[in-house]
Amino acid sequence: MTFILDQIIAHKRRELAVKKQALPLEVLQQMPACTRPCYSLKQALLQPASSGIIAEHKRKSPSKGYFASALPLEQIVAGYAQYGAAAMSILTDMTFFGGASEDLLVARAQTSIPLLRKDFIIDAYQVYEARAMGADVILLIAECLEKHEIQSLSALAHELGMEVLMEVHSREQLDKLSSHIDLVGINNRDLRTFEVHLDRSFELVREISPAIPVVAESGIHHPQIIAALREAGCKGFLIGERFMHQPDPVSAFREFMQQLSQNPTHAQA
């Protein structure tokens, strides 16, 4: 792992120890959202008219600090859903990204599009927590987990009715794929330098079975990039900072979607 990931995971372990005391697993399992049917991200991305956009909400990042947006989460979620997001990614890490698990509950109350819980999931407790807070999909980062851990956590997610998106940063990490992985995310951001290399998505999508929808993550700032990525085989496009850097992310998203709709390759093939 990289230095920043080492820091994040070490902090996450300490955070989990506190959470498990404050909100025991038995209490999580009794929360109303645990019985709600989940929405499928995979199906949302494969719909013929899908935009493929997974719009992300995060308040800050380790490399850039807090973003410009001052809009409340409720308004952002409602706006993204209104203007055509296929799904939303909700950053729930508090220390490094300014999120909270409860953000999922807030988002869930605003929309019926699929919600991805984006966090550094390393423990079964977090999978139960994602379900209890209204997530439909969990993110598992291959760089943070051994193959057997990915198998165990993804199997649990399926047991609870959720889908799993496994995030990779290299060709070698594709070896950690298991039968419980529903989607693969290719993160174009180098976690050591935070530089973005879009070539990574174009290179790795060719290594993944067409039966598994691929989501390109990070560095997608223009609709033209989406057209090229879609042509290469990507079905989803996770975009966060492009909108959250703006004082009004909803207006920025609406404008982006208008530009995307004018592109002849907008519709799924």
In a domain, 70, yes or no: yes
pLDDT tens-digit series, residues 23-81: 999 999 999 999 999 999 999 999 999 999 999 999 998 888 888 777 999 999 999 99
In a domain, 219, yes or no: yes
Residue 92 has pLDDT above 60, yes or no: yes
The predicted structure's pLDDT at residue 18 = 97
In a domain, 268, yes or no: no
The predicted structure's pLDDT at residue 139 = 99
CATH code of the domain containing 99: 3.20.20.70
Contact indicator for 141, 120 with CB cutoff of 8 Å: yes
By annotation, the residues acting in catalysis are 56, 58, 118, 167, 187, 217-218
> DSSP assignment, residue 206?
G
In a domain, 269, yes or no: no
Q: Percentage of the chain with pLDDT > 70? A: 96
Q: Which amino acid would we find at residue 87? A: A
| CA dist., res. 166 & res. 54, Å (int) | 15
The predicted structure's pLDDT at residue 234 = 98
Q: Percentage of the chain with pLDDT > 90? A: 87
In a domain, 234, yes or no: yes
Give the HSE-up count for residue 45: Cα atoms under 13 Å, Cβ half-sphere: 31
Query: Distances from the Cα of 114 to the Cαs of 65, 137, 159, 203, 245, in angstroms?
Result: 27, 7, 18, 27, 23
Query: Distances from the Cα of 109 to the Cαs of 106, 217, 225, 241, in angstroms?
Result: 5, 26, 32, 23
Instruction: Please compute the mean of the pLDDT values over residues 232-251 and round it to a whole number.
Output: 96
Total domains in the chain come to 1
Q: CA 117, 119, 124 angle in degrees (round to 5)?
A: 85
Instruction: Please compute the mean of the pLDDT values over residues 127-152 and round it to a whole number.
Output: 98
Residue 266 has pLDDT above 50, yes or no: no
The predicted structure's pLDDT at residue 268 = 45
In a domain, 156, yes or no: yes
- The DSSP H or E segment spanning 107 is helix 102-110
In a domain, 49, yes or no: yes
pLDDT tens-digit series, residues 170-220: 999 999 999 999 999 999 987 777 788 999 999 999 999 999 999 999 999
Q: Which domain holds residue 154?
A: 3-261
| CA dist., res. 157 & res. 77, Å (int) | 24
pLDDT band at 2 (very low <50, low <70, confident <90, very high): low
Instruction: Please compute the mean of the pLDDT values over residues 218-233 and round it to a whole number.
Output: 95
The predicted structure's pLDDT at residue 1 = 60
The predicted structure's pLDDT at residue 68 = 75
